[in-house]
Chain A
Amino acid sequence: MSGLRFVLRRVALSLVTLWLLSVIVFLGAQVLPGDVGRAILGPLADPRAVAALDHKLGVDRPLLVQYWDWSSHFVTGDMGRSLVYRQPVGPFLAAALANSLKLAAIAFLLVVPLGIFGGVVAAMNVGRALDRIITVTGLSMTVVPEFVSSIVLILIFGVWLEWLPVSASWREGAGAFTQFRHLLLPAVPLVLVLFGYIARMARAGTVEALDADYTRTAVMKGLPFRTVVWRHVLPNALLPTITVIATQMGYLIGGLVVVETVFHYQGIGSLIYNAAKAKDFPMLESGVLMIGVVYTIATLIADVLYSLLNPRIRFGGRE
């Protein structure tokens, strides 16, 4: 199978996946309790007012009509209007996505070098105490819920040492450095969660590479060990790491509801969470699909990169 055909097939499959996702979310949204009119007007509003509002917003139409209305606009790039805010969904989503990307980028910049470094160090010390410590600690941190690590970080760095702000919201127009300072504390829990995954993959890749023929040859040729590591081991060790990073993109962009809640940050996770609570269907559906798109693109890029960088794997050879 040629490279282009591989990519096309993957894109087509991704589109099917995204369409299925939209249907699932749409059907799921229908079982949300209450209705939009009630959510907007509050529990004590008169039922006649609620009915009038539901009619005005068009949520009293048959389900299929609503879904068609939304999806036929979506494919043309129009994400519809928020039922609750009565404004186009696009700007809300863009703002939330920008916030999420900022946080994800900082976490990413911290965790990738750290994780790879940790993994390589562990691999160079295979079987020794340092290896066990890095592996077990990393693995353990991946399952500690973010709110637990956040609370500990807030207590230490925010409340006792007062080094960093404990809230990720800054004044409008704040400079890049201020924003970075505010995002540092929220980024650390993500680093803790991801470190273990990346370190494990980097370790496995390095162990394999250290063992490989080309490494032995290089060492036998008399190259300094450090050079061997840099030139031969690292590039190979990084390959599997790319995949694990890509699979975590969905989480990094859309799965941070907890961290966003603790640090009062308006990312895409809290956007869809609030949309679900308010039964704001266009907002919810577009937000969910946005996460799906990010995830799909990330895995697609990872697959292509993996195939390009690794001569041992032919296109289509996965699966």
Chain B
Amino acid sequence: MKADWKRIDLLRRNASELEADAIEQYLTGNVGRRELLRYGATIGMSGAVLATLGLVPETTPRAQAAPANQTIRAGIEVPASAVDPVTTGDAGGLCMLQQVGEFLCIDGPDLVLRPALATSWKPNAKGDVWTFSLRQGVKFHDGRPMTADDVVATFDRLANPKNASNALSAFKGVLAVGGTRKVDDHTVAFHLDAPNGNFPYYTSSDNYNAIIIPADFKGDYEKSFIGTGPFKLEKYTAKVGASFTRFDGYWGPKALPARTEFTFYQGMQSKVLALQGRQVDIIVPVAVQGGQAILHDPRFQIIRLRSAAHEQVHMRTDMGALRDKRVRRAIALSLDRKGLVAGLFQGLSDLGNDSPFAPVFPSTNTSVPQRTQDIKQAKELLAAAGHAKGVNIKLTTEKYIEIPDYAVLIQNFAKAIGVNITLKVESQSAYYGKAVFGQSDWLDSEMGITDYGHRGVPNVYLAAPLKSDGTWNAAHFKNPTYDRLVASYVAALDLAGQRAVSKEIETLLLDETPVIFGYFYNYLSAAVKGLKGAQPTAMAQLFLQNATLS
């Protein structure tokens, strides 16, 4: 370690309590280099501090070549509805938003927050007020400067229940209208509903609606596509495609490509065919299902990101045989997770340990042992629960990428221990129904499988699908101890504290097993061999400002 101990001592004395804790954790080896970087970024530890510790945040290596007048062509999913920073919530749409818009900070592929429109951020001691310093000299594409007013308006707009905001469910219990306050022209303070150690993620690219747009935005975003990003809109044709050009008034290093071109495709195969036919240079995202043709094709490169995206297999804790946690555990033990990952994802996936703590999260406590297939124990548990002769369960799920296959595999695994699963696979809209209890197969079914997209922190996964009052609690899991643990996890500002709680949460969930988390699959993109510097995120965003084609 190339650390200057004298300066470190000095640092310790001058650092805030949080920073001192992080430094301590790092020096004693409890926390690795990557984790410290990541955590340090969350609490707004300055680059100088990190540099002293011999650590510099990794950045995408920028091509040496001067900006070439290249056009980079990308193939993405067709935006499912009008592109609008307030309402958009689908992969194609949010990728469009991110082409022109920027966030206060960016959640990189390594889940480390990097400054973008904010240069630094700090929590108060309790963690319920976060103060962000904004970058100066940032201009919107129409030439107007970006100020604190725009930031306040952006977040108020998203937190307002009257605005059809897609971010509303994320902000629920975190940030309300009026919580975002201007301190001065370049400082904003977020007054939260409750302490939150991971709040900066809610202002990052993780919260894809939170691109900063002018305070006077009135709607009809597709007319302007206004933002502060390195590219500005050239042309947008709904359902067909879009093109963007370099924004010369950009505050940072200018984009390398002169132009980017996006073509919209419906479904995996059409994107793959477009890449094979060289109609585009990169496609995002690629699923293993349907992407087989290019996964092993030497003409293409696969950009692989570890992610927290997963499918939750919920089991109703208040209904039938599954009420007994031994039955739930038995089913979870019947799964051959390594086989699942190999079979469904050709190994391009992490294993799940029946809690939302994906291996990719630094706060995940890896000392909790991984659950593996154990048919003998599973059968014993079933027998102990009085189901030695077998039990019948109905699994309802949605038609979405690999989920029907996953359901068939679970059915096969469970059969080996005498659990007879009948499958009902329906369209996504039928499965989600009205998305409220009593009017949704998702929330009412005895057992089900539901898709969850990637998030930079586990907070959302921990709350809505598992807390007693959670609105997505399909397992109907009600456990006061769990609720308390989650509250303290969310409030914890230091990594050691988060890890201590996550160990308890992971252990509790392994015991109760309301939801099986079988795997956290990798987020894949595919590009032609000569493309360099293109940076997708596991949220379906695609940063092209550093991209070059050779």
B161–A46 CB distance below 8 A = yes
Are A264 and B266 in touch, CB under 8 angstroms? yes
CB of A61 closer than 8 Å to a CB of B: no
Question: Which B244-277 residues sit within 8 Å CB-CB of chain A?
Answer: 263, 265-267, 269-270, 273-274, 277
Cα A166 to Cα B433 in complex, Å, equals 36
The interface residues of chain B lying within 8 Å CB-to-CB of A43 are 428, 432, 435, 442
**B416 within 8 Å of A by Cβ?**
no
Residues of B within 8 A of A167 (CB): 270, 273-274, 277
From 211 to 261 in chain A, residues with beta carbon under 8 angstroms from any chain B beta carbon are none
Is the CB–CB distance between B472 and A264 below 8 Å? no
- Cα separation A86 to B265 with both chains bound (whole Å): 20
Alpha-carbon gap, A277 to B434, bound state (A)? 15
Q: Contact at B169–A84, with CB atoms within 8 Å?
A: no
A34-B434, A46-B169, A52-B162 known; A41 vs B89 contact (CB < 8 Å): yes
State whether the Cβ of B402 lies closer than 8 Å to any Cβ in chain A: no
> Given that A34-B429, A171-B279, A264-B273 are known contacts, is A42 also in contact with B161, CB under 8 Å in the complex?
no
B164 sits at the interface (CB 8 A) = yes
Q: Does A80 contact B (CB under 8 A)?
A: no
In the docked arrangement, what's the CA distance between A84 and B83, Å? 10
B273 to A, closest residue via Cβ = A167
Q: Counting chain B CB atoms within 10 Å of each CB, which of A38, A86, A165, A278 scores highest?
A: A86
Chain B neighbourhood of A264, CB < 8 A? 265-267, 269-270, 273
Residue of A nearest to B426 (CB): A33
Q: Does B48 contact A (CB under 8 A)?
A: no
Is B388's beta carbon under 8 Å from chain A? no
Q: Is the CB of A33 within 8 A of B270?
A: no
Number of CB contacts from chain A to chain B under 8 A: 113
Name B422-449 residues within 8 Å CB distance of A. Answer: 427-430, 432-436, 442
Mask, B472-484, CB within 8 Å of A = 1, is 1000000000000
B80 touches A84 (CB 8 A): yes
Annotate A85-97 by CB proximity to B: 1 below 8 A, 0 otherwise: 1110000100100
Inside 8 A of A319's CB, which chain B residues have their CB? none
Q: Is the CB of A45 within 8 A of B429?
A: no
Contact between chains at B80 and A278 (CB < 8 Å): yes
Closest chain B residue to A36 by CB distance?
B81
Least CB distance, B310 to chain A, in whole angstroms: 14
Q: In the bound complex, do residue A87 and residue B265 qualify as a contact, i.e. CB atoms below 8 Å apart?
A: no
Contact of A42 among B89, B165, B430, B436 (CB under 8 A): B89
- Name B's interface SS: loop
Does B168 reach chain A (CB closer than 8 Å)? yes
**In the docked arrangement, what's the CA distance between A112 and B434, Å?**
49
Q: Are A169 and B165 in contact (CB under 8 A)?
A: no
A-binding segment of B13-21, B234-242, B364-372, B532-540? B234-242
Q: In the complex, A165 Cα to B80 Cα: how many Å?
A: 27
A33–B426 Cα distance when bound, in Å, is 12
Count contacts on A: residues with CB < 8 A to the other chain. Answer: 37
Given known pairs A41-B164, A46-B161, A46-B168, the reply for A165 and B277 (CB within 8 Å) is yes
Q: A171-B279, A264-B269, A264-B273 are in contact. Are A92 and B239 (CB under 8 A)?
A: yes
Contact A41 B273 (CB under 8 A): no
Distance in angstroms from A80 CB to nearest chain B CB is 15
Q: With A42-B90, A45-B169, A52-B163 as given contacts, are A34 and B433 in contact (CB-CB < 8 Å)? A: yes
The residues of B that contact A33 with a CB separation of less than 8 Å are 429-430, 433
Chain A residues with CB below 8 A from B87, complex form: 40-41, 49, 53
Give chain A nearest CB distance to B241 CB in angstroms.
Answer: 7
What is the 8 Å Cβ interface bit string for chain A, positions 24-65, against chain B (1 contact, 0 not)?
Answer: 000000000110011111111111111011001000000000
Residues of B near A39 (CB, < 8 A) are: 81, 429
Is the beta-carbon distance between B161 and A40 smaller than 8 angstroms?
A: no
Residues of B50-100 whose CB lies within 8 A of A: 80-82, 84, 87, 89-90
Residues of B within 8 A of A84 (CB): 80-82
Q: Is the CB of B82 within 8 A of A87?
A: yes
CB distance from B94 to the nearest CB of A (A): 11
Please give me the residue from chain A that is nearest to B161 by CB atom: A48
Contact at A169–B270, with CB atoms within 8 Å? yes
Known: A33-B429, A34-B429, A85-B238. A56 touches B82 (CB 8 A): no
B513 interface residue per 8 A CB criterion: no
B529 at interface, CB cutoff 8 A: no
Contact A47 B435 (CB under 8 A): yes
Distance of B37 from chain A, by nearest CB (Å): 30
How far, in angstroms, from A47 to B429 measured CA to CA in the complex?
Answer: 15
**B residues less than 8 Å from A87 (CB atoms):** 82, 222, 238
**B172 contacts A by Cβ under 8 Å:** yes
Say whether A14 faces chain B, with CB atoms less than 8 Å apart.
no
Pair B162/A45 contact, Cβ less than 8 Å: no
Bound-state Cα–Cα, A34 to B439, Å: 10
- List chain B residues, Cβ under 8 A from A277: 427, 429
* CB-CB nearest in chain A for B436: A47
The contact string, 1 if C-beta is below 8 Å from chain A, for chain B 487-507, is: 000000000000000000000
Assess whether B270 is in contact with A42, with CB atoms less than 8 Å apart.
Answer: no
Which of B164, B435, B472: most chain A CB closer than 10 A? B164
Residue pairs across A and B with Cβ atoms less than 8 A apart, 17 shown, are A33-B433, A37-B164, A38-B434, A39-B429, A44-B89, A44-B472, A46-B161, A46-B172, A48-B168, A49-B169, A84-B82, A85-B82, A85-B239, A86-B82, A264-B270, A270-B266, A278-B80
- The 8 A-B pairs at the shortest CB distance, nearest first, are namely A53-B164, A264-B270, A43-B432, A46-B168, A48-B161, A86-B82, A52-B164, A46-B169
- A42-B89, A169-B265, A169-B279 are known; give 14 further A-B pairs, CB within 8 A: A37-B164, A45-B166, A49-B87, A49-B161, A49-B164, A52-B163, A85-B239, A86-B220, A87-B82, A92-B239, A167-B274, A264-B266, A266-B266, A278-B80
Which B residues form the contact surface with A (CB < 8 A)? 80-82, 84, 87, 89-90, 161-166, 168-169, 172, 220, 222, 238-241, 263, 265-267, 269-270, 273-274, 277, 279, 427-430, 432-436, 442, 464, 472
List chain A positions with a Cβ less than 8 A from chain B: 33-34, 37-50, 52-53, 56, 84-87, 92, 95, 165-167, 169-172, 264, 266, 270, 277-278
